[in-house]
Structure 1
């Protein structure tokens, strides 16, 4: 919101960049967004997240699938679901690819 206040004072993007310690490119982008939509357009929308590629039904079905344990799906050396194993099961069961880190964020 500091950028919007500076733009309202007719301060140019290069000076806004200097004052806020950001790149000039960012300040020019903010300026364009501010001109098109005002202060509200610059408001944070929070951290971006990828949309879940599994439907709510698939997530529910998969949760039940996980309750069978890793041994029920071929991992008999130990009884621990790892992120790698979860990603592998999603791929095999639903034909949807998740990275290991992506699998840790399912919920």
Structure 2
């Protein structure tokens, strides 16, 4: 089954779907045919065929929901260790500057736990555990904010070129008298 925008089922939808499968199991046991069950439950015959195969192979447990496919792959202890390693900083892990990027965090997770996350998956993992997205501001180390304000107030008005008027010789689109 495919879902719009790559999404899956919510917990409530998964529970509803599981209830349908359990109703189908009751009908399997009663000897109903796949087409009858599909019409009665308003699902595709193909879904009923899949459910019947799972029921034959695993009984009622075979049709129960397996849970969210997006369940976390790291334990709480691993996440705690990841947070400690992130706090140590990128320099401690061999990168040349002080910036954590999602690609670096993805690599760190792979190195520490031998688990492969996508860049987006590593962002979701961090966000789920209270980390926020931040981008460092680029500023010169020697920057003097007070001196910058003085320069903007006193020097900039003197060096800024005055605006030219739209008189003759300008690049105005309209020609004189053409209105």
Give the TM-score, by structure 2 length: 0.41
**Which of 1 and 2 has higher RCO (CA within 8 Å, sep 6+)?**
1
Task: Give the helix-richer structure, 1 or 2.
Answer: 1
Query: How many residues in Structure 1 have an aligned counterpart in Structure 2?
Result: 101
Of the three residues 72, 80, 85, the one matched with 1:65 is 85
Question: 2:25 aligns to what?
Answer: 4
| RMSD, matched Cα | 3.4
Residue in 1 that maps onto 2:47:
26
CA change 1:17–1:60 in 2 (3 A) is: same
Gaps of 5+ in 1: none
Runs of 5+ unmatched residues, structure 2: 1-21, 130-179
* Bigger Cα Rg: 2
Query: What is the match of residue 16 of structure 1?
Result: 37
- Aligned pair in 2 of structure 1 residues 49, 28: CA closer, same or farther (>3 Å)? same
Provide the secondary structure at the position in 1 that maps to 2:117. coil
